[in-house]
Amino acid sequence: MTGREQEIPGFHVPYHRSLMQVVLIAGLPRSAAYMLWTIAAALGMGMRQWWVLPVAIVIHALVAIFIKNDPYFFEILNRALKAPKSLEP
């Protein structure tokens, strides 16, 4: 049986797609896009290192292509970095 056939009347809750999908800004997760472009703007405009801006565009494009395959990559990476380094028996 599929999920639709097992529904109990009165117990169906609609949900919005925005609650289930990652918020992307030009193909990058919001936190990654803010971090990348804040660093690029600080180095590029604040320190007059203009070569940083084209490098940031290339990094943005590569990460956007990578995120297209796995939109939860950064969330999983964050959890893996915070996980304990050893397993207790």
The tens digit of pLDDT for each residue in 32-70 reads 999 999 999 999 999 999 999 999 999 999 999 989 999
Strands (E) across the chain are located at: 24-25, 28-29
Encoded amino acid at 68, one letter: K
Closest CA to 65 of 34, 24, 21: 24
What's the pTM? 0.71
Check residue 17 and report its DSSP letter: G
Percent of the chain with pLDDT over 90: 54
Distance CA 59, CA 38 (A): 13
The domain segmentation of the chain, as residue ranges, is 22-81
